[in-house]
Amino acid sequence: MLAFVKILKKFDKVTAKEVQTIYLKVVESSYFNSSDKAIRLMDDVEELFVRHFASGDKRKAMKYLKPNQKEESHATTFFIGLFTGGFVALFIGYCIMAHISGMYTHQSNKVYMSTSYPVLSMFSLFFLHLFLYGCNIFMWRKTRINYAFIFEFAPTKELKYRDVFLICTTSMTIVVGVMFAHLTLIVKGYSSSTVQAIPGCLLLVFLLVLVCPFKILYRSSRYHFLIAIRNIILTPFY
């Protein structure tokens, strides 16, 4: 019955007609609405799922049949805005510092351009793709596409578009902050091996976070990403 109500509301919205009341009277008086066979069939299917797919554990089965959606947090939106502002400010500062030092001219520091810059730009490219993935999720949810089912994500554990944007803005703020600090040290004349190792240390930190075994920082999504990368690498051997 609820499905018919939603369908009729959508029909009225798209066609700009008001036929919901008329058709609901027909639906309410129909046999499938007055009979309890559909309810009994739902109960039978639920019992079969509990018995064969959840080893008799009804609580585990209900997590798949009726997953509880997590409530959207206003703190996530706040931190997205905060880190976006931080990213913009640091990126402008980096561009000004690079222009003043002439880092991207013909007389630029060749060591920086051949070692540090590729590592740091790799992060930018990766998180740009992640940001576009977040835009895809936003459009999928807006058009009611069940992307979690398509990509076989665990119920209630898939990343929402706000989570993806939070990861992107936080990570890019860190990356651009490191880029700004690293370029500042080089401009001031610090060219020791410790300074040159800063991009490598940043890469190591991100890799450690990616494989972190503790239940923090979206562990299920990180492990799903690692499994996907493993499957891609081992595809020729399947």
Each domain of the chain, given as residue ranges in start order, spans 2-65, 74-237
CA distance 78 to 90: 18
Residue 120 contacts residue 179 (beta carbons within 8 Å): yes
- Flag whether pLDDT at 234 surpasses 80: yes
CA distance 104 to 100: 10
pLDDT at residue number 155: 67
Residue 162 contacts residue 80 (beta carbons within 8 Å): yes
- Flag whether pLDDT at 165 surpasses 90: yes
3-state secondary structure of 152: coil
Q: Which has more pLDDT, 223 or 37? A: 223
pLDDT at residue number 107: 61
Sign of the CA dihedral 156, 138, 207, 191? negative
Task: Spell out a b/e string for 150-189, using b for 16 or more CB atoms within 10 Å of the CB, else e.
Answer: eeebeeeebbbbbbbbbbbbbbbbbbbbbbbebbebbbee
Residue 159 contacts residue 130 (beta carbons within 8 Å): no
Rounded average pLDDT over 152-176: 87
DSSP per residue, 57-113: -HHHHHHHHSPPPPPPPHHHHHHHHHHHHHHHHHHHHHHHHHHHHTTTSTTS-HHII
Rounded average pLDDT over 210-235: 87
Using a cut of 0.95, tell me whether the model's pTM lies above it. Answer: no
- Flag whether pLDDT at 58 surpasses 90: no
pLDDT at residue number 90: 92
CA of 80: how far to CAs of 74, 96, 100, 172, 214, in Å? Answer: 10, 24, 30, 11, 24
Token reading at 67: 């997953």
Encode pLDDT of 62-76 as tens digits.
Answer: 777 776 666 667 888
Residue type, position 60, single letter: K
pLDDT-derived band at 173 (thresholds 50, 70, 90) equals very high
Encode pLDDT of 182-219 as tens digits.
Answer: 888 888 877 667 777 888 888 899 999 988 888 888 88
- The DSSP 8-state label assigned to residue 115 in this structure reads I
Rounded average pLDDT over 40-53: 85
Encode pLDDT of 33-45 as tens digits.
Answer: 777 787 788 888 8
Encode pLDDT of 92-134 as tens digits.
Answer: 998 888 888 777 766 666 767 777 778 878 888 888 999 999 9
Token reading at 31: 């046999």
Percent of the chain residues past pLDDT 90, beyond the cut: 19
pLDDT at residue number 108: 60
